[in-house]
Structure 1
Amino acid sequence: MTNFSSTDGSAAPSSASSSASASAPETGPGTGPASTAPTVVWSKPEDERSGSPLLVLLHGHMANEEDLMGILDFLPDEFTVASVRAPVALGAGFTWFPLMQDAAYSVDKVTAAVQDVIDWVDSIKQSHSSVTLLGFSMGMAVASSMLRARPADYAAVVGLSGFVVPTDGSTFFNDSALVAKPVPFFWGRDQEDPVIPADRIEFTHGWLNRHTKLTKVLYAGMYHSINAQELGHVREFLQMVVPGVSRTPLSR
């Protein structure tokens, strides 16, 4: 079994990284407002993106926009993939917001980071047939929060080894709209994940069951990482739920 992991709690794929880098040389600001446009690395040059389904990758705590690009070889070819850098420099990488156990954490900091990504997606989504989100660890919190803010905007969401944040009374989240029209959501994790606390997993499990069309898969021996088996399941999920994505088998 191939694992993609790193010691800082992020996903740092290695076995597919060389081919991903070759297919994704363009790194730079998005095309949204200058104050909020993130740094993004793309899987395809700009002249090959129009009309394709868009898959937005959201990395974990203290990682960066290159961190998830090693999974490209496992994803359906129809997608244009855009991997987004979190806004706050921290250590050797970046973070979306303070860890929930930190005194500096607040839901307002979560929603501010999430709104910036939403604004950037708004600036490019007209060029794509649909938008799907994939987040690892803290990136899953960002992806699920984007879904909760704009439930009608996304074809599907993939959350890997991550969690959903409580609303703490924030009106940013439109959970009632998700209950009325649930969106397909893939949640993969290891029950022995040492990073995400049990109470956060319990909350996440309950929220996803109530608000989404949940596909939940558990993996043994993966801990806080991503493995090839999980990526195979992610590929199959995306092929089933995203319009315009063919069900071709993985040939690499």
Structure 2
Amino acid sequence: MTFTVPPVVATRGDSGRPLVVLLHGRGSRESEIIALADALPPEFDYTAVRAPIAEHGGFAWFANRGIGRPVAASLRETMDWFRAWLDRVAPQGRPVFLVGFSGGAAFAGGLLLDDPARYAGTAVLSGTLPFDAGLSTGPGTLNGARVFVAQGDHDQVIPRELLDRTWDFLSVGSGAVTTARRDPVGHTIAPDALAALGEWLRDGTPSDPDDSAPLAH
């Protein structure tokens, strides 16, 4: 399967400010996850992207060989498609943050592993990194990259072994600068985690000393 058309997107703001790209979970769509923008800091532009693979009334980022385990060739194809779009709408120099939930978290993690320097930060919410999918996950792979991880203690969707492996890799082995939290919820985003995500976004945005209204504090 080859994807040749730009993704369907939903937006909140289009001012050229730092861009937060919201990536929905498997079986969902952009019109659902864009609602997160209403609870996140207003000093960003937000774009929610529809995954390219139609599945069960919604959309998916990659073919699976099991929950949380992407088919490597499928992941590579969709990542290349996404990057072609992203590099058009947000040229190098404009800060880009990825915020992925569930299957979108695995996709965001794949994009991060593929090119860590491209992103100002990556949030992995209720999801796993795409281990064993053709991307390097060796020690120091993400040296210096900013990552936010939020998991639910009672998540019954993503296999616990993958949640734990993601937590351990991002917190210890990857070299990333990671903010990680677990909340007493299931496969969802806890309100406190959403608030912490907002602060993490703000903290990762460089302020402009010549701007009378800096974007970060």
Tell me which interval the TM-score lies in, with the shorter structure as reference length: 0.7 to 0.9
Checking the alignment, whether the CA contact within 8 Å between 1:54 and 1:128 is kept in structure 2 is no
Distance in 2 between residues matched to 1:203 and 1:127, nearest whole Å: 31
Distance in 1 between residues matched to 2:19 and 2:31, nearest whole Å: 17
Q: 1:141 aligns with which of 81, 92, 106?
A: 106
For the aligned residue pairs, the C-alpha RMSD in angstroms reads 2.2
User: Which TM-score applies when normalising by structure 2?
Assistant: 0.86
Distance in 1 between residues matched to 2:7 and 2:103, nearest whole Å: 17
Q: 1:74 aligns with which of 39, 58, 62?
A: 39
Using a 3 Å threshold, how does the CA distance of structure 1 residues 36 and 208 change in structure 2: closer, same or farther? Answer: farther
1:98-133 per-position Cα deviation (integer Å, ceiling 9, x unaligned): 33317x952111121122111111111128631110
* % identical equivalent positions: 27
Checking the alignment, whether the CA contact within 8 Å between 1:53 and 1:128 is kept in structure 2 is no
1:201 lines up with 2:163 in the alignment: yes
Distance in 2 between residues matched to 1:246 and 1:98, nearest whole Å: 38
SS in 2 for 1:67: helix
Q: In the alignment, residue 4 of structure 2 is paired with which amino acid?
A: S
Distance in 2 between residues matched to 1:128 and 1:64, nearest whole Å: 28
Q: CA deviation at 1:92?
A: 1.7
Q: In the alignment, residue 160 of structure 2 is paired with which amino acid?
A: A
Q: Which residue of 2 aligns with 1:13?
A: none
Distance in 1 between residues matched to 2:22 and 2:94, nearest whole Å: 17
Q: 1:236 aligns with which of 172, 190, 199?
A: 199
Checking the alignment, whether the CA contact within 8 Å between 2:39 and 2:194 is kept in structure 1 is yes
Distance in 2 between residues matched to 1:177 and 1:204, nearest whole Å: 13
1 or 2 for the larger relative contact order (CA 8 Å, sep ≥6)? 1
Q: 1:213 aligns with which of 167, 177, 184?
A: 177
User: Which TM-score applies when normalising by structure 1?
Assistant: 0.75
1:159-182 per-position Cα deviation (integer Å, ceiling 9, x unaligned): 1101101134x2xx3556963632
Q: 1:224 aligns with which of 187, 204, 208?
A: 187
Checking the alignment, whether the CA contact within 8 Å between 1:151 and 1:174 is kept in structure 2 is no
Q: Where in structure 2 are there 5+ consecutive unaligned residues?
A: 208-214
Q: CA deviation at 1:91?
A: 1.5
SS in 2 for 1:126: coil
Task: Map 1:116-127 onto structure 2 (within 5 A).
Answer: 116-126=81-91
Task: Map 1:49-198 onto structure 2 (within 5 A).
Answer: 49-50=15-16, 52-101=17-66, 106-126=71-91, 129-168=94-133, 170=134, 173=135, 175=137, 179=141, 181-198=143-160
Q: In the alignment, residue 49 of structure 1 is paired with which amino acid?
A: S
Distance in 1 between residues matched to 2:29 and 2:142, nearest whole Å: 35
Checking the alignment, whether the CA contact within 8 Å between 1:86 and 1:96 is kept in structure 2 is yes
Q: How many residues align?
A: 205
Using a 3 Å threshold, how does the CA distance of structure 1 residues 189 and 155 change in structure 2: closer, same or farther? Answer: same
